[in-house]
Amino acid sequence: MSRRRGADHVVDFSAEDPVRAIMELTDGRGVDVAIEALGTQVTFEAALRVLRPGGRLSSLGVYSGDLKLPLDAFAAGLGDHTITTTLCPGGKERMRRLMEVVASRRIDLGGLVTHHFKLDDIERAYELFSHQQDNVLKVAITP
């Protein structure tokens, strides 16, 4: 899916260590910006570990447990990293604009939605998504 959306490089975490692969792709420099959208300790730490000095981590994931900030991954505070945590930077206005773009169909997001559920089946949809079953990417809920 990433390649179809235009990604130049794709790292498959199930086939290789993503931190090592990203550091190799950047010749050891690290990335300017990492986005953590899954909401797990493992992905948060990995995103932090691939930042270059002065890099930024945008943490969009919804964490269901305690989130720990490992000292070594945070470069002992000397890496000049910025961590931003928000589900929707800019709040309601940004979400409203995003929904307008989606509704206008100016971009094709169809391939990202892999499963459709009616509102009555929302618990089943959350179960599928939370356990990442059946190759789910995104779930659409129809009222």
What tokens does 118 get?
């009616």
Determine the structural domain holding residue 23 and report its residue range: 18-85
pLDDT at 70: 80
pTM for the structure as a whole? 0.70
What tokens does 8 get?
């130049």
Q: How many helices (H) and strands (E) does the chain have?
A: 4, 5
pLDDT at 91: 66
Q: How many residues does the chain have?
A: 143
pLDDT at 65: 78
Here the CATH number for the domain that contains residue 40 is: 3.40.50.720
- What is the spatial distance between Cα 44 and Cα 93, in angstroms, rounded to a whole number? 27
Half-sphere exposure of 139 (CA within 13 A, CB side): 20
Hey, what amino acid is at 138? K
Residues 32 and 53 in one domain: yes
Residues 96 and 81 in one domain: no
* CB 19 within 8 Å of CB 46: yes
CA-angle at 138, arms to 91 and 141, nearest 5°: 80
Asked whether residue 25 is assigned to any structural domain, the reply reads yes
pLDDT at 4: 82
Residues 97 and 81 in one domain: no
* CB 131 within 8 Å of CB 123: no
pLDDT at 88: 60
Residues 102 and 54 in one domain: no
Hey, what amino acid is at 127? E
pLDDT at 76: 66
Among residues 39, 66, 85, the one where a domain terminates is 85
Report the chain (143 residues): mean pLDDT per 10 consecutive residues: 87 94 97 89 92 90 78 73 74 77 81 92 92 88 90
pLDDT at 74: 73
Residues 68 and 99 in one domain: no
- Total number of domains constituting the chain: 2
